[in-house]
């Protein structure tokens, strides 16, 4: 069975190393018919003073947290959805590509978050997403992230709703959101 060995400069978090091991395991599983239990991933760490490239000592790269470059695609999507739920449009915009476009059921294409807020204003007071699962696929600079779960919130008259199914599809380019497509059952749940 496959054995993958990776060398990293010491200093990355355990969470990042676990994510890297999981992604490498998935890459092997999608490339050859290997049982995940038979795939071994080993992470070797070297001290920063024991590593050079181009004749210069190097330090670990940024892991990317809190909206900074380097976040995983899932982290970007979760940060965006959290910022939108909090109506922190400034934070949400930092995660968007210049060519960003979004569509919601019945909305048509929108390019600015303010358009979404205005469009949604007559549909509900607020909405929250309870994410059941997030799936990431793609390679290189292009990534697609799907998340699904249930919506809850309040209708314009203050009546609460919950248990409304949704699926969001995000396309990312170089770590920034280019497209968001949303499907949900809000129209079926509306009184």
pLDDT at 24 over 50: yes
What's the rounded Cα separation, in Å, for the pair 96 and 43? 33
Give residue-wise pLDDT tens across range 93-110: 999 999 999 999 989 999
Which residues are CB-neighbours of 52 under 8 A, at least 6 positions away?
58
Higher pLDDT, 75 or 16: 75
pLDDT at residue number 187 = 87
CATH superfamily of 3-57: Macrophage Migration Inhibitory Factor (3.30.429.10)
pLDDT at residue number 70 = 66
Weakest mean pLDDT among 4-8, 36-40, 96-100, 139-143: 139-143
Residue 101: DSSP 8-state: E
Which residues are CB-neighbours of 5 under 8 A, at least 6 positions away?
41, 42, 44
Which residues are CB-neighbours of 7 under 8 A, at least 6 positions away?
43, 44, 45, 46
pLDDT band with cut points at 50, 70 and 90 for residue 132: very high
pLDDT at 62 over 70: no
* 120 phi, psi to nearest 5 deg: -80, -20
Delimiting residues of CATH 3.30.429.10 domain(s) in the chain: 3-57
pLDDT at residue number 9 = 84
The CATH code of domain 73-189 reads 3.10.450.50
Question: What are the helix (H) ranges across 60-185?
Answer: 73-85, 89-93, 113-120
């Amino acid at each position: 069975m496959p054995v993958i060995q990776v060398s990293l400069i010491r200093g990355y978090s355990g969470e990042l190393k676990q994510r890297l091991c999981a992604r490498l395991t998935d890459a092997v599983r999608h490339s050859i018919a290997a049982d995940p239990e038979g795939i071994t991933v080993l992470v070797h760490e070297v001290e920063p003073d024991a590593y050079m490239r181009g004749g210069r000592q190097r330090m670990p790269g940024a892991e990317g947290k809190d909206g900074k470059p380097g976040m995983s695609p899932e982290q970007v999507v979760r940060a965006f959805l959290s910022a939108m739920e909090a109506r922190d449009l400034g934070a949400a915009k930092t995660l968007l590509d210049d060519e960003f476009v979004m569509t919601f059921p019945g909305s048509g294409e929108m390019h600015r978050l303010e358009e979404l807020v205005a469009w949604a204003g007559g549909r509900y007071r607020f909405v929250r997403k309870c994410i059941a699962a997030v799936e990431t696929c793609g390679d290189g600079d292009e990534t697609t992230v799907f998340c699904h779960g249930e919506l809850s919130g309040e209708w314009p008259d203050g009546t609460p709703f919950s248990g409304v199914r949704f699926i969001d599809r995000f396309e990312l380019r170089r770590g920034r959101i280019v497209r968001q497509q949303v499907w949900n059952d809000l129209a079926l749940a509306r009184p």
